Structure 1
Amino acid sequence: FYIPRLSSGEEIDLDADFVYDYETLRVGGLVFAGVIVFLSIILLAGNRIRNCGKSQVSSLSVQLQN
């Protein structure tokens, strides 16, 4: 469980309705970006692995056979 901590130099405005936690926002954004990059690599590599052993028939050779 991650508990964000404020550095000792920051002042906390207790009357504010909302306080941004930039460290957690930054970490969350980096994790989200990392997951998106990882999934895109898996998607691209998986498609190439699946089609690796198959011989691709070009449309030109199919038209020539008819």
Structure 2
Amino acid sequence: MPIRLGVPELVLILVIVILLFGVGRIGKIAGELGSGIRAFRDGLKSPEEKAEEKKPEEKNE
């Protein structure tokens, strides 16, 4: 039996999560999750790509 979540169920889950953790803590968790994902993406890049990002862009005039 598959579980199907509609909009009312998702809203109820969101309200329960906010009541348990509070708005401030959820924002902190989301920020840490975002920085973790960013670090993971940076770790997947090759050393050449990292060196290219650190170079300032040369302007052709």
Pair in the same fold by TM > 0.5: no
**TM, length-normalised to structure 2:** 0.42
Higher helix share: 2
**TM, length-normalised to structure 1:** 0.39
Q: Which has the higher contact order (CA 8 A, sep 6+)?
A: 1
Choose 1 or 2 for highest CA Rg.
1
